Structure 1
Amino acid sequence: MARIAAGTAGCVTLGTAMAVCVASAIFLAAAPPRQWQRPVQHAQAPGGGPLLAAAPLDATSNSSSSSRSFTIRNDRFMKNGVPFRLISGSLHYNRIPPDLWADRLARAKALGLNAVQLYVPWNFHQPRPGPEGVLPFEGWRDVAGFIRTAGEMGLLVLLRPGPYICAEWEFGGLPAWLLQQDPAMPLRSADAAFLAAVDAWWGALLPQLAPLTYERGGPIAMVQVENEYGYYGGSKPYLRHLADLIRQHMGQQVLLYTVDGASLLPVAMGSLPGRGVLTTVDFGPTTDVDKAFALQKSFNPPGRPPPSVWSTTPAGSRTGGSPWRIPRLLTWRAPWPTYWLPPTALPQSACTWQQAAPTLGPGQEPTCSRSWDWCSSCQASAVALAAGRAATAAAAAAQGHSGQQQQ
């Protein structure tokens, strides 16, 4: 899912699983290099100043690791004891050729970001069961190398190791061999067989990344537990197992967080209040922001939640092309443009309406059978519906104005 957040001493995170962060410079993560894609070495505004000065960009200071800390206090992120505004964008190493990692990270920094967040797709690293099924952490799979490169550029990292990641990635990153072993295996649960597979996978992955936590001198500032789990299940033993496993491998000081939809049930199902795990919400551009933040705050202890940490879907993901309603950052895209495919990456087949637009009442919106993203026909229908409603409202307003004049 996409990520976006903003606010004083809060967190700004931008992007989707396709690395659609903020602008085409990030979106073209996997596009063949062209002349205009040369690495950004010194991004400057006219006059020689920095291109953007929205937040400090020094994620890795020269201070000793013993004095380094990334925590939350008094509703603020604190980096080395100093209030810090986290501005993060999604950038996925597994969708970017390794020789372009530095280039894309430089572009992210030039956009004003001071952090990147990344998923780790399990099936990308372990396509076969057993220890021998874990491919070497090198080349395109050198996730630690990507994180080190981010740190060298002065970027913090928000790590999202799953085990389920969604990310518009095959099976949400879960390896298919889980179901080959047991077609009835309860995935994303405290099932013993599933947890054994997760333990083995994270036992190979997390020790590679533990030296890169912020407290140990690396750039990893936060680690996400699962991903929107409240939409799927509510097994607290499962979530506790994951949180404990992360801390076992990466240290007790690492800052953990969950992300769930900004509704009571998903947050209640997918969060771990009272376990020192930050609860955050995600939502789209039509969500009531105040209500979403109030819900988020209610699941965190006093002084714990930075005032504006949230995630959102990108324009068009489920809103038919609605713009991101973020100050100084407006874009209008329908689901997502791609380099190789026609206007959108969504195939046009097998799309049927679950609701007929004419039957919708005021305030209701049509839904696409694809559930997560709208195809172009759904977008066209939504645009027509919105235009019709606007015309009806305008006619009603004009009629009311005319009636007032007659009186």
Structure 2
Amino acid sequence: MMMALFAGIFIVLFLIGTPIAVALGATSLFNMEVFDTIAVSSFTKTASNGFNSYLLVACPLFTFAGDIMAKGGISKRLIAVAKLLIGNMTGGLGIVSILACMVFAAISGTGSATVSAIGMIMIPEMVRSHYDRSYATCSVAIGGAIGTMIPPSVCQVVYATCAGVSLTSMFTAGIPAGIIFGLALCVYCYFSSKKRGYKPAEKVHYSSKEALHIVVDAIPAMLVPIIILGSIYAGICTPTESAALGCLVGVLVSIFIYREVSWKILPYLAMHAMTIAAPVMFIIGMSSGFGSILSMEQIPAKIADAILAITSNKYVLLLIINIIFLIMGTFMETNAAIILTVPILLPIVTAVGVSPVHFGIVCIVNLAIGFVTPPLGANLFMASAIGNVPLNKLAKDIWPWIATGIVALLLITYIPDLILFLPKLMGYVV
């Protein structure tokens, strides 16, 4: 009875547009007042402990670093190197777009920043080379989803906080996951472009001097993810410290080396980073208090028992969870979906032998695909605005790309060693 009432109140609040954090708090308050499950003081203490996480400081820092580098000329230099290497092959510009998204993902940590930074350059370039505008926009939209997989990823920070797993392990597993996803998109792009006859409008041959200039000019841009991630894996910095280092490096490269932004923009970027991070932290705080009530009533254990009574087969459970997350990703903000579902689903999958790190990557890849799944894929809205393509047109043309992403998802889901070999190789706990 209490479980049904609990779920009913939250669902009603969610459906009428109440912010997730407010819905969590209101549902908890109702429970405390009616059923006296937990003292208000205990709830507020648990919620404040949820806010007070050192690991969460990385969220605004990585967001700030991504913003400054997106505006500082780094994306166009990464694209120039990719065009130098493969721009003249069949479907080359589409593959360049996806590869640029993969590399920029290792800087920005978010899908929307990746779509914006790469799309504004690559979509017009592809259209000039006679690519269909909708096709070009779709490639950037789903390429931007890789921003949540390849570290540093804000989603991975949130999952590590909720699941109590090593963020370094999550980052390390995210690298092969993002590469698998990106390569699957590149394969589809090559064959679909070959079928459509997409080739460069004209062959571009670089002289040795021009090629050397492009590579040398891009070295600072390529060093940024190496410095951020290398400092973590070398044991020099914690993930939060590396996020602060990324901010510093981003400012130095964007302002002093490429000189494409000025100091005046920094306060606005800092405010933007905080406005993105604050709701996430608020949700986590409320979900911590909400979770304490759920635990007190043993609701996660009851849900786990009910699901395991249906099936205890690991592969069937993973299929069910994939479907749940694919659906959730279409209409719920990614971090909110992680915060709400992980405390319930994690004990279920670990009970059947699934690694928490593997489960986290599977969740994030699912939700990343949700970014571009109609009707409410967030990346579709961003790409539609940047590419000047009607949303209903993108919603029709994105499905082959989504199918390709699902193939990559199934490989990651059912062959866990594809992503866990790297953290195991480096000695991290999975």
Q: TM-score, normalised by structure 2?
A: 0.21
Which protein has the bigger strand share? 1
Tell me the TM-score normalised to structure 1 length.
0.21
Structure number with higher relative contact order (C-alpha < 8 Å, ≥ 6 residues apart): 2
